[in-house]
Structure 1
């Protein structure tokens, strides 16, 4: 039983390190609420055959700091013209052990978003638009490349999955001072708070861990979500703001990706702590398919501290990535306009200072993976 406890502690000790569900990093740049299909717990693949792990993950951020390139525009906050997004998202995940090395994950996300701005309401007054409901469901199948029985101190997993267009990508609300004679008008909300993106996506993922010192682990991972669909047909009304934005009249269905790495330390039988870095991004151009329509490309580099508590079959984790570098690069429209006019152009985007991630899982069955007697010492704590 002690061997199984230690093994399970090792497996679940990486929980705060690889919080996939923050992929939609910080603010209205990394726009989709997309968790890795491996669920909130990176070692969820280390399940015995027939074992099941259920989880719920909550994520919150407030984006309000505007950037062009890597330069912040602090005057937007001081003069009250900043755009403010509040994003709340919940992922309900299930990970099943197909075998000791194969695993499958299903993630069902829901969101509640608000967006407060001046420019979307005729620049006359600040108003708020809302969206809520089911987001884009994801599933994946993964495989641990090394046999956990033979390589207990480190492993790497790869996974392939799909994102389904189950979220509403044409959610609408009332916009003020924009209709005929300044009347209110119902329009689609901004792309940053749409629950879905309207496209089928293909995800490629990886994750790894390695114990290089007793109770001290290195971790890492990432994914790339490819959205082959170019545009989803939802109107942005951006062409009414500036004729140069004519090609941004319809929303794009952009790719996105995330990378992370760091260290985790086992503090006790109940607690582990981690410190790492993560990089979340929406690229300017897609890997497959066209890149037309409106998108806000951007990326965020964050320092990601976390802590995990394990009690029985329950695991609780808290992770708070803090942005240290934010960039809104030139979009396709920016590049085309600069080429046409000869004048430098770079749109802006609002980012958050931090993201709050909170996760809870319950593991059904703790039989663990059978351990060869010759390998048992590898699972004993240093003090034993």
Structure 2
């Protein structure tokens, strides 16, 4: 019985290492924050033994370029070469530590590089590119597994929480062309979608679980909501509407679930297939919701694969967008009239690439590590 429990726990650890480290990082302008560990990093502690560590490095990439107003795509933006294109690269380091068998802590340190190509931000006559790079918003948090391995041999679930620290530069600037009084270039804050932070102290509430549905099939799920009480951050947008002159500091949310199945051996190849929804709400739960934001959500199918060699696991998953919805913001609603229904748009990606490498440091190796 103990061998069975140990085997199940080891498979669960492998699953969580591979499919919970990566960010719930939405694919386009709607998900404006680029910090690590939205939800997942808080729950990344794994089912480790007391004193064990898990270290993971994750790389993410997407290109957003398809414009949506509501769920309606605007293909003429591509035809007329007026689309906005974002390229985002994010690398983060996540370190989790098991204080006990059931209590864990997590620290996530991310770094981002972004490019944004557009016409409308450069006098609407020439296409130019703006840039941002640097440390983004850190996450520190922890969680609690509800069951011990002996009491729940078929799986486990955890609840957790954390703080999103405003360490990223939320007023990052770049050069904009054809925008000065006489057509000169100016240094201005970059668009909200490629800012490195939002300036708010966020509270993350997280839940996750893994359950054995058969001999080698597992159900996984993970969800979070981030409350961002700060109203606006004082950074100018240079948008035409006065109601959108300053950047908002919005809440965020995400949920993902699916099936995970080792192929041949629990210590080798494994495949997964699931779904996810992530987005920015129109209104925050706490505090005001003034200023400019792009609310909306993305629903994706999420295939993935991982391979485990001893305590090292490499994984790849590629969420593919099925539904993209740029919902109406409060400023859209307020600025509408009976003759003019305002509804802003947003650019979304077709897919997101997540590549991760995880190292589980066992108790004996952790003791050696801590001795230096």
Instruction: Give TM-score scaled by structure 1 length.
Output: 0.90
Which of 362, 365, 369 in structure 1 is aligned with 2:362?
365
- Alignment deviations for residues 339-369 of structure 1 (CA, whole Å, 9 cap, x no partner): x45422210000000000011111111579x
SS in 2 for 1:44: coil
In the TM superposition, 1:248-267 aligns within 5 A as 248-267=244-263
* Pair 1:237-2:238 in alignment: yes
Q: Which consecutive residues of structure 1, in runs of 5 or more, have no partner in the other structure?
A: 240-244, 369-384
* Pair 1:348-2:345 in alignment: yes
Find the counterpart in structure 1 of residue 50 from structure 2: 49
In the TM superposition, 1:324-343 aligns within 5 A as 324-338=322-336, 340-343=337-340
Find the counterpart in structure 2 of residue 286 from structure 1: 284
What is the rounded CA distance, in whole Å, between the counterparts of 2:328 and 2:281 in structure 1? 10
SS in 1 for 2:308: strand
- Alignment deviations for residues 117-137 of structure 1 (CA, whole Å, 9 cap, x no partner): 000000010000000000000
Q: Is the 8 A contact 2:305 2:317 kept in 1?
A: yes
Find the counterpart in structure 2 of residue 9 from structure 1: 11
1:19 CA displacement: 5.0
- Alignment deviations for residues 165-202 of structure 1 (CA, whole Å, 9 cap, x no partner): 00000000110000011000110000000011111000
SS in 2 for 1:309: strand
The CA RMSD measured in Å over matched residues stands at 1.9
Q: Is the 8 A contact 1:38 1:140 kept in 2?
A: no
SS in 2 for 1:123: coil
Q: Is the 8 A contact 2:170 2:196 kept in 1?
A: yes
In the TM superposition, 1:164-183 aligns within 5 A as 164-183=165-184
SS in 2 for 1:13: helix
SS in 1 for 2:205: strand
1:42 CA displacement: 5.6
**Count of matched residue pairs:** 361
Residues 39/32 of structure 1: CA separation in 2 closer, same or farther (3 Å cut) = same
Q: Is the 8 A contact 2:112 2:133 kept in 1?
A: yes
Find the counterpart in structure 2 of residue 371 from structure 1: none
Q: Is the 8 A contact 1:38 1:105 kept in 2?
A: no
What is the rounded CA distance, in whole Å, between the counterparts of 1:169 and 1:229 in structure 2? 13
- Alignment deviations for residues 302-350 of structure 1 (CA, whole Å, 9 cap, x no partner): 0001111111111111010000000001011111122x45422210000
SS in 2 for 1:247: helix
1:44 CA displacement: 3.4
What is the rounded CA distance, in whole Å, between the counterparts of 1:194 and 1:341 in structure 2? 34
What is the rounded CA distance, in whole Å, between the counterparts of 2:246 and 2:298 in structure 1? 25
SS in 2 for 1:12: helix
Find the counterpart in structure 2 of residue 273 from structure 1: 271
What is the rounded CA distance, in whole Å, between the counterparts of 1:69 and 1:148 in structure 2? 45
Instruction: Give TM-score scaled by structure 2 length.
Output: 0.93
Find the counterpart in structure 2 of residue 375 from structure 1: none
Residues 113/53 of structure 1: CA separation in 2 closer, same or farther (3 Å cut) = same
What is the rounded CA distance, in whole Å, between the counterparts of 1:365 and 1:285 in structure 2? 44
Q: Is the 8 A contact 2:17 2:46 kept in 1?
A: no
Find the counterpart in structure 2 of residue 377 from structure 1: none
Find the counterpart in structure 1 of residue 368 from structure 2: none
What is the rounded CA distance, in whole Å, between the counterparts of 1:366 and 1:154 in structure 2? 22
SS in 1 for 2:121: helix
Residues 300/328 of structure 1: CA separation in 2 closer, same or farther (3 Å cut) = same
